[in-house]
Structure 1
Amino acid sequence: MKPPSRSFSNKHEPLPSQRPDNTAFTQQRLPAWQPLLSASIILPVFFFIGLSFIGIGIGLFYSSNNIKESEAPVFMYYELSNFYQNHYRYMISKDEKQLSGDLNSLKNPSNECSPYNVNSEQKPIAPCGAVANSMFNDKILLFYNNNGTYVEVPLNGKGISWWTDYNTKFRNPTDGNLSLEMIFQGTAKPKNWLTEAYNLSSDPYNTGFINEDFIVWMRSAALPTFRKLYRRIDSGNFTDGLPPGEYQLRIVYNYPVKSFKGRKKIVFSTISWMGGKNPFLGIAYLVFGSLCTVFAIIMLIVFIKYQGKIDDDI
């Protein structure tokens, strides 16, 4: 039997070179500097960082505690406790493209929103996801007792969100001259919402995905007890703050908290250069600065104790 024919490559054909280019970068000939860390360098750095953070923390904590929750200008917050917005699966349960006004994502939400991406009729949910579905939706009204007559205090819902969120991150979808209601046709509202997204407000610049209550809610909080800005009191007869007297809060209870054993509060507060009353940042600086200082003291004690032995060994 005749053996099968085989093809052979030319043994004299040069193989491609695997050697990197002869440059200073590829051959690792660039000049380098490696710091020699010693106690005389590390200890002052730790002391400086620790004391600096302690000083900043004291300033932040003092500024937060000096905020008076009654004078002008007055901001109304709602506070929720035992609500973990920082849970990873909860935080990613949204469609960034949909919230930025992408028409395709409006009708085809991301799987990250599952199981809040479509309803029982398989209609796409807009806005989709667990974050949007759990949006705070109590309606809060404030009244002032003016000589026996309760006068409604005007509450301003504009300008309560971050400028970058309202003007850049969140956008309503557009499609020619179609109205927002027509664009949302074929989609469903989130399960726990009382109305569709395009009907959140009669103001065309404060509805849909650019509704400021919605935008504020979508910025997840870091701690299980948090406050979110609800309204500003800065118009009418209350531009100088809330005068002394009797007030009445009327709340339309739409947002249940028993399911996660939480609590709701309404807080009136002023702000300082660092924002509203929030001692967390000051405490964080104090803790980090104190740890740096303690470690610096420990390293100083160890250095003094063993310095003589090190010198003898040398």
Structure 2
Amino acid sequence: MLTVLGVDYTGVDPSSPCFTCSQTYSWNSSTPCRCSVAFSLDQPFESNVFMYYGLSNFYQNHRRYVKSRDDSQLNGDVASLKNPSKECEPYRSQQDKPIAPCGAIANSLFNDTLELFYIDSNGSRTQIPLVKKGIAWWTDKHVKFRNPNGNVSNLTVAFQGTTKPVNWHKYVYKLDSDPDNNGFINEDFIVWMRTAALPTFRKLYRIIQKKSNMTPTLPRGNYTLDVTYNYLVRSFDGRKRMILSTISWMGGKNPFLGIAYITVGSISFFLGVVLLIVHHKYGNRNNSTDIPN
């Protein structure tokens, strides 16, 4: 059975536990803001659970935003690493050093940290293990995105002479301690770089794997979402959500195609009726062959 739950943690309402973080935090702050949001599950999640982050009113489909990247650089080309594409302006260089990765898409990378805890009847917290690998498309991970010099383990040397994007707190070669998930092949980074078609979207963040057939992956009960609040959305009136979802044999819940088909079908039906009326009313006049005396 397909199960979906969304938790908004934007912090717009003054009563929200994340309100202070949403109001006072800035991109350049060295001290992250943390908040916790409580929620409950009325029914258990039985199979593997997919955790997404969702953003609203964020136009990743803007033409200049979509073009603001260097695919050669992301594929590990050393020449593009040292001299990024002009499409990346104004996020091409900083302090006379090329930015890696360059461009507006990379600069706006989602960087909130989400942790999930189960609260038992005694009030104690048990952290839910979140799997961070396997969230990106295989072709992206192994074909489109590669680190310079063939994904070498010493990424500090590979990215020598470059600097981090303006809004990043870490260099690209420090995104993860795991060398198989670091640099341009970091899966959180890869997922973000696949831009969304609509202003309200969600992207896969983590996977909660089912460990036993005898117990649900997430039992019903009380939970806490711990957030390290880094990502600012107040400037564009955006909203942030954490979404938990299972999948069925048909895939996950995604109403976009259904809404698109109904909308296009309705417009086509309406235009068909209009054209039929126009043809019935004016068609005979245009086809008349009567010659006046």
Which category of TM-score, normalised to the shorter sequence, fits these structures? 0.7 to 0.9
Aligned position for 2:23: none
- Correspondent of 1:180 among 128, 147, 155: 155
Secondary structure in structure 1 of the residue aligned to 2:271? helix
Unaligned 5+ segments in structure 1 are 1-65
Match of 2:103?
A: 129
| Distance in 2 separating the partners of 1:268 and 1:178 | 34
Deviations 1:32-73 (A, max 9, x none): xxxxxxxxxxxxxxxxxxxxxxxxxxxxxxxxxx84215232
- Secondary structure at the aligned position of 2:69 is classed as coil
Identity of aligned residues (%): 56
Deviations 1:136-189 (A, max 9, x none): 001111011234321110111112112221121111111696722211111111
Are 1:142 and 1:250, in contact at CA under 8 Å, matched by a contact in 2? yes
Q: Give the distance between the partners of 2:244 and 2:62, measured in 1 at CA.
A: 28
Is residue 76–residue 150 contact of structure 2 (8 Å, CA) maintained in 1? Answer: no
SS of residue paired to 2:142: helix
Task: Measure the CA separation in 1 of the matches of 2:150 and 2:289.
Answer: 79
The equivalent of 2:139 in structure 1 is 164
Aligned residues of 1:140 and 1:251 also touching (Cα < 8 A): yes
Q: Which moved more, 1:229-238 or 1:79-88?
A: 229-238
**What is the aligned partner in structure 1 of residue 30 from structure 2?**
none
Q: Name the stretch that deviates more: 135-144 or 261-270.
A: 261-270
Q: 1:246 aligns with which of 216, 222, 237?
A: 222
1:312–1:188 distance in 2 versus 1, CA, 3 Å:
closer
The TM-score with structure 1 as length reference comes to 0.72
> What is the alpha-carbon distance in structure 2 between the residues aligned to residue 169 and residue 235 of structure 1?
30
Quick check: 257-266 or 174-183, which moved more? 174-183
Which residue number in structure 2 is paired with residue 140 of structure 1? 114
Cα shift at 1:194: 1.5
| Corresponding position of 2:235 | 259
Which portions of structure 1, spanning 4 or more consecutive aligned residues, are displaced by more than 6 angstroms? 175-178
Larger % of strand: which? 2
Give the conservation status (yes or no) of the 8 Å contact 1:175–1:183.
Answer: no
Whether the 8 Å contact between 1:144 and 1:247 is mirrored in structure 2 is yes
Q: Which amino acid aligns with 1:256?
A: L
Distance 1:140 1:177, change over 3 A: closer
| Post-superposition offset of 1:127 | 0.5
The 1:118/1:292 distance shift into structure 2, 3 A limit, reads: same
Q: 1:230-309 alignment to 2 at 5 Å?
A: 230-236=205-211, 240-272=216-248, 275-305=251-281
* TM-score, length basis structure 2: 0.77
Within 2, Cα distance between the matches of 1:266 and 1:90?
Answer: 24
1:68 and 2:3 are equivalent in the alignment: yes
In structure 2, the partner of 1:206 is 181
Note the alpha carbon deviations across 1:86-117, whole angstroms, 9 max, x for none: 11111111111000110111111111111111
Matching residue of 2:31:
none
Change (3 A) 1:177 1:234: closer
Distance 2:286 2:153 in 1: 80
2:153/2:179 contact within 8 Å kept: no
Q: Shift of the alpha carbon at 1:78? A: 0.8
5+ long unaligned stretches in structure 2: 6-44
Bigger CA drift: 77-86 or 94-103? Answer: 77-86
- CA apart distance, 1:241: 2.6
Instruction: Describe the superposition over 1:8-43 as per-residue Cα deviations: whole angstroms up to 9, x where unpaired.
Output: xxxxxxxxxxxxxxxxxxxxxxxxxxxxxxxxxxxx
Which has the larger Rg? Answer: 1
What is the letter of the counterpart of residue 108 of structure 1? N
Q: How many residue pairs are counted as aligned between the two chains? A: 248
